[in-house]
Structure 1
Amino acid sequence: MASKGMARTSSKPGRTKQMNAFGVGGARLTLLDMPGYGHGSRESWGREIMEYLRSRKQFRRAFLLIDPIHGFKEVDMMIMEAFVDMGIPYQLVLSKTDKLEEPKKKKDRLATPHINEVFMDVQGVMRDYGGHSGFGEILATSSEPVKKGINELRWAILRATGLEPKKKKLR
Structure 2
Amino acid sequence: MRTRLAFTILGVSLALAGCSNKPLHEIRSNSAGPDEFLVLPVKPLTAPQDYDVLPAPTPGGSNLVDQNPTADAVAALGGRPAALDPSGGVPSSDGALVTTASRYGVPANTRQVVAAEDAEFRRTQGRLSGFKLFPVDRYSQVYRRQTLGPFEANAAFRRAGAETPTAPPANE
Please, what TM-score do these two structures have when normalized by structure 2?
A: 0.19
Of structures 1 and 2, the one scoring higher in RCO (CA 8 A, sep 6+) is 1
TM-score under structure 1 length normalisation: 0.19
Structure ranking higher in strand proportion: 1
| Higher Cα Rg, which structure | 2
